[in-house]
Amino acid sequence: MHYTPSIIESWERFYRANFINSLTGFKSVSLIGTADVNGHANLGVFSSIVHIGSDPALVGYINRPRKAAPHTLANIQATGVYTINHIHPSFISNAHQSSAKYPAEVSEFDEVGLTREYIETIVPPFVKESKVKYALSLQEIIPIALNETFLVIGKIEMVKLEDNFVTEDGFIDLHLAETICSNGIDSYYHTQPAGRFTYAKPGSRPVKFQ
């Protein structure tokens, strides 16, 4: 079947959102923790975390238009710091619930049943239940004029995870950590390893080494 723009644009809004959101593949869904200038904690689920670079260590995410998702972006702009926390099987429904539109004065941590964790002097909370988490300092907010979204880029300032997830070459075994991925707007997945492959060079074939 070939789907053209005229077919896609004719669809009912939620049908189209499900289709387009799931077309791009499995996603790095995570919880972003922020605080406002009074230290009031906010938590949101974001599926558009994207690796920007390793040196410097930069991570981006796409923030929806301000009117649709105001609290996380406003807090990041106000404090310059935020946390990203992986999701695991034991709290998928709690994480999903953090996408509900709560008023600013309500903390999603309490509403969805996840625990704030404060580490060192970092202002925004981490998610205590998360086994892989990191803090970022805001570097740049790039407006995407095409649809009023934003690419928010942070530099990694601290990573907390269990040592045994890190293999001898620095790779983090997220299958061992039971990190969940997502697709579309409401579907979550476990993973099964299909192999790691050797560095690709012209004239040779990559070999599975794990």
Q: Which of residues 126-145 bind its own copies (CB under 8 A)?
A: 132, 134, 139-140, 142, 144-145
- Say how far apart CA 200 and CA 86 lie, in whole Å: 29
Q: Is 8 in the site for its own copies (CB under 8 A)?
A: yes
Find the part of the chain contacting its own copies (CB under 8 A) among 31-39, 43-51, 73-81, 123-131.
Answer: 43-51
Find the part of the chain contacting its own copies (CB under 8 A) among 35-43, 44-52, 71-79, 123-131.
Answer: 44-52
Q: Is 198 in the site for its own copies (CB under 8 A)?
A: yes
**87 near 110, Cβ under 8 Å?**
no
Find the part of the chain contacting its own copies (CB under 8 A) among 10-18, 32-40, 74-82, 123-131.
Answer: 10-18
- Longest CA span, the chain: 60
Site string for its own copies, 158-187 (x = CB under 8 A): xxxxxx--xx-xxxx-xx---xxx-xx-xx
Q: What angle do CA 85, 88, 93 make, to 5 degrees?
A: 100
Q: Is 201 in the site for its own copies (CB under 8 A)?
A: yes
Q: Is 205 in the site for its own copies (CB under 8 A)?
A: yes
Q: What angle do CA 82, 84, 86 make, to 5 degrees?
A: 165
How many residues are recorded in the chain? Answer: 210
- 3-state SS assignment for residue 65: coil
Q: Is 37 in the site for its own copies (CB under 8 A)?
A: no
Q: From the list 38, 56, 67, 105, which residue makes contact with its own copies (rule: CB under 8 A)?
A: 56
Helix (H) or strand (E) holding 161: strand 149-161
Residues in contact with its own copies, total (CB under 8 A)? 112
Q: From the list 80, 81, 86, 121, which residue makes contact with its own copies (rule: CB under 8 A)?
A: 86
CB of 182 to its own copies, least distance (A): 9
- Say how far apart CA 84 and CA 57 lie, in whole Å: 14
- Say how far apart CA 132 and CA 30 lie, in whole Å: 10
